[in-house]
């Protein structure tokens, strides 16, 4: 019965592929495909869970598929099943099925009806992969699918300005979490000298032995896991993305940001708890983060005028409490709390439109005087200060812009002298010089040999930083992303001797999808469209096929698991030494800025209000 686990992944994937071939206006057929897929999945999962419990509920792990193997590296798909998987899978399967039934009628005659169910099934496929993952690499596959499906559903009303803008903002926070997960994979490779599985982390002797000799690496690995969990679960300082994600349809808000996706940070902490539970400093930090988040987001929730924002911040506060429970070692309590919070927030978001209507009526016909609260006991100055801070969301957004995004944009503007012609000339000269140096490594001094990986990695980061901040030339922004990947491959090539097939594996998907993306942009220009990155153009309405081709190209260039590049990214990280923290950080930042630059290009070209006034203009917000 263990081999049934891949079936739980194949069912939603098969449903997603089937849904792509349903006609756009066939609402009944589309909803039936989604419902049958999810009902079948839930029934099979429920039966399997009963059988597993009846037979002693013994946790197990299985290596299902080896994707790539070399002498010192192995990338494989690993699946596991225990009580954590069971609770998350049953909760997710049941809630997605309910939301599917609700959405059949809620989105009736909506122009994006088919697109919504396509994305919902795509999301659930990623959720299933992430929950059943037995190692970080498999988890990252599902993690990436969840990230892109979140972006697509937040920007569901893609002809409007704010949904698209907030979708990009949320995706940027997700990419920060991706930095933590990528660096966690890199650190785990060096700590355990293998592609460690979650099942092996339960071996206390094995973990303790490695932490004894690499205590600093262990702490850094735990901090990267915490960073990833905080970003995904809207904990401080990333809490403000959660209400911004409510720009999508109510069903997607309920299933993504009320119940399932927002609790994946909790899942990551639960899954890796055997590793960090003996590190007291990490446990204290997790508990403090959860406590501060719970207090601040509760205060923000109480002054929100939008019911969705109230629910969003309330959910973040409850997740903060779950963080505290996990830090105290109350893992079973955290699982129960997750399931309860997921069901409650889904219900609240689904009925929120009706509740608003009822409350508007009640405030006119049955007014209730304000009751005394805790704040009334505080001095007026303190109470008013807390109120203003909560109203401004404790300036979390401003702090993020001031200390992260604005410095990046300022640095990128310093590179405005780079034109397409200058960039190509610089790339050709520098890359060929680096390649010649690589071919003659024996002639270089040891100091130069250690310096060159960092140098070329820095050059690649500078190029992608320019792409991220480019406001004018679309072709330049796209080419700089491709150049960055080439310099990254060159930088790691200096690190140690390995076969050229590793670079081929890494660059194959990038060069292919990069070429497709460039031809798509050129095709749009040939149709007489003047494209820049200073505004939204909304061409997905006018050129849906080109929009679909370009999003596939974007996914391939950003290392999404549809090309060998996804394996290649993890592979080249395995060649970065434990002592090269700067090189690892710069490479990870390059990957993250790649994703942000690419998704920004796609959003600016194909989303937002249409640039031509002959088409209907969408509302600014949903």
pLDDT tens string 522-557: 888 888 777 888 888 888 888 888 889 999 998 888
Token match 């309330």: residue?
314
Q: Are residues 345 and 420 in the same domain?
A: no
Other CB atoms within a 10 A radius of the CB of residue 450 amount to 15
Domain boundary among 361, 380, 404: 361
Q: Are residues 143 and 208 in the same domain?
A: yes
Q: Where are the alpha helices (H) located in 558-612, listed in sequence order?
A: 565-573, 581-606
Mean pLDDT of the chain: 84
Give pLDDT tens digits for 22-65: 888 888 889 899 999 999 999 999 999 999 999 888 888 887 77
**Range 169-185 average pLDDT:** 86
Q: Are residues 136 and 202 in the same domain?
A: yes
576 located within any domain = yes
Most confidently modeled range among 114-128, 152-166, 167-181: 114-128
pLDDT exceeds 60 at position 173? yes
pLDDT exceeds 60 at position 620? no
**Range 70-95 average pLDDT:** 85
405 located within any domain = no
pLDDT band at 76 (very low <50, low <70, confident <90, very high): confident
CA-nearest of 20, 132, 121, 148 to 561 is: 148
Q: Are residues 325 and 473 in the same domain?
A: no
Q: Are residues 308 and 436 in the same domain?
A: no
Residue ranges making up the domain that contains 158: 2-361
Q: Are residues 345 and 472 in the same domain?
A: no
**Range 67-81 average pLDDT:** 77
Of all residues in the chain, the percent with pLDDT exceeding 90 is: 20
Q: Are residues 440 and 349 in the same domain?
A: no
As for how many domains the chain has, the answer is: 2
621 located within any domain = no
Q: Are residues 517 and 602 in the same domain?
A: yes
Q: Are residues 424 and 302 in the same domain?
A: no
For the record, the structure tokens of 28 come out as 């009944």
269 located within any domain = yes
Residue 323 half-sphere exposure toward CB, CA atoms < 13 A: 34
pLDDT exceeds 60 at position 206? yes
pTM score, whole prediction? 0.90
CA-nearest of 188, 57, 96, 84 to 135 is: 188
Provide CB contacts within 8 A for 603, sequence distance 6+: 155, 164, 167, 168, 536
Domain boundary among 346, 361, 376: 361
Omega of the bond prior to 110 within 30 degrees of 0, cis?
Answer: no
Q: Are residues 331 and 473 in the same domain?
A: no
215 located within any domain = yes
382 located within any domain = no
Other CB atoms within a 10 A radius of the CB of residue 95 amount to 23
pLDDT exceeds 60 at position 369? yes
Cβ 499 vs Cβ 71: under 8 Å:
no
399 located within any domain = no
In whole angstroms, give the CA distance from residue 123 to residue 463: 32
Choice between 621 and 582, residue whose per-residue pLDDT is larger: 582
pLDDT exceeds 90 at position 326? yes
> Residue 622 has what pLDDT?
47
In whole angstroms, give the CA distance from residue 238 to residue 388: 19
Q: Are residues 354 and 457 in the same domain?
A: no
In whole angstroms, give the CA distance from residue 304 to residue 319: 19
Q: Is 279 left (phi over 0), alpha (psi -120 to 50) or beta?
A: beta
In whole angstroms, give the CA distance from residue 170 to residue 280: 32
221 located within any domain = yes
**Range 121-128 average pLDDT:** 92
Q: Are residues 75 and 175 in the same domain?
A: yes
Quick one: CA dihedral 255, 258, 261, 267, positive or negative? negative
Give pLDDT tens digits for 547-587: 899 999 988 888 887 778 877 777 777 778 777 778 888 88
């Amino acid at each position: 019965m263990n081999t049934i686990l891949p079936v739980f992944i194949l069912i939603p994937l098969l449903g997603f592929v089937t849904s792509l071939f349903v006609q756009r206006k066939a609402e009944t057929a589309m909803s039936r495909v989604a419902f049958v897929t999810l009902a079948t999945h839930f029934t099979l999962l429920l039966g399997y869970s009963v059988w597993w419990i009846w037979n002693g509920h013994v946790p197990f792990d299985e290596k299902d598929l080896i994707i790539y193997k070399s002498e010192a590296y192995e990338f494989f798909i690993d699946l596991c099943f225990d009580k954590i998987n069971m609770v998350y899978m049953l909760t997710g399967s049941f809630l997605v099925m309910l939301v599917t039934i609700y959405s059949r009628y809620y989105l009736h005659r909506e122009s994006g009806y088919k697109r919504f169910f396509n994305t919902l099934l795509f999301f659930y496929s990623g959720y299933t992969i992430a929950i059943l993952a037995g190692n970080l690499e498999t988890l990252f596959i599902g993690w990436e699918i969840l990230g892109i499906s979140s972006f697509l559903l937040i920007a569901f009303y893609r002809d409007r300005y704010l949904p698209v803008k907030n979708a990009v903002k949320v995706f940027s926070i997700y990419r920060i979490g991706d930095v933590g997960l990528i660096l966690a994979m890199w650190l785990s490779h060096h700590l355990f000298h293998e592609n460690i599985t979650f099942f092996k982390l339960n071996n206390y002797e094995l973990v303790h032995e490695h932490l004894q000799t690499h205590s600093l690496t262990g702490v850094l690995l735990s901090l990267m896991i915490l960073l990833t969990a905080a970003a995904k679960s809207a904990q401080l300082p990333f809490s403000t993305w959660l209400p911004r994600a409510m720009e999508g349809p109510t069903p997607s808000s309920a299933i993504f940001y009320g119940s399932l996706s927002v609790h994946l940070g909790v899942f990551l902490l639960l899954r890796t708890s055997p590793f960090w539970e003996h590190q007291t400093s990490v446990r204290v930090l997790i508990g403090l983060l959860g406590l501060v988040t719970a207090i601040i987001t509760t205060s923000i929730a109480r002054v929100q005028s939008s019911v969705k924002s109230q629910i969003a911040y309330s959910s973040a506060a409850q997740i903060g409490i779950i963080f505290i429970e996990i830090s105290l070692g109350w893992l079973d309590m955290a699982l129960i709390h997750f399931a309860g919070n997921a069901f409650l927030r889904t219900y609240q978001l689904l009925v929120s439109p009706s509740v608003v209507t009822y409350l508007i009526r009640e405030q006119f016909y049955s007014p209730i005087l304000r009751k005394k609260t805790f704040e009334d006991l505080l001095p007026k100055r303190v109470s008013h200060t807390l109120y203003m801070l909560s109203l401004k969301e404790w300036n979390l957004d401003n702090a993020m812009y001031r200390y992260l995004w604005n410095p990046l944009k300022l640095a990128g503007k310093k590179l405005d002298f780079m034109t397409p012609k200058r960039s190509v000339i610089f790339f050709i000269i520098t890359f060929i010089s680096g390649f010649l140096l690589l071919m003659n490594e024996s002639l270089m001094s040891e100091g130069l040999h250690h310096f060159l990986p960092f140098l070329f990695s820095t050059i690649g980061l500078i190029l992608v930083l320019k792409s991220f901040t480019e406001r004018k030339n679309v072709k330049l922004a796209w080419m700089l992303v491709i150049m960055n990947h080439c310099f990254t491959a060159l930088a790691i090539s200096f690190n140690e001797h390995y076969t050229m097939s590793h670079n081929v594996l890494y660059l194959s998907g990038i060069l292919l999808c990069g070429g497709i993306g460039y031809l798509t942009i050129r095709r749009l220009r040939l149709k007489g469209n003047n494209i820049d990155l200073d505004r939204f153009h909304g061409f997905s309405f006018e050129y849906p096929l080109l929009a679909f081709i370009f999003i596939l190209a974007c996914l391939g260039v950003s290392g999404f698991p549809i090309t060998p590049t996804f394996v290649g990214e993890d592979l080249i990280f395995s060649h970065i030494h434990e002592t090269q923290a700067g090189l690892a950080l710069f490479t990870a930042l390059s990957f993250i800025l790649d994703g942000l630059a690419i998704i920004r290009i796609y959003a600016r070209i194909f989303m937002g209000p249409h640039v031509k006034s002959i088409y209907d203009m969408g509302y600014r917000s949903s």
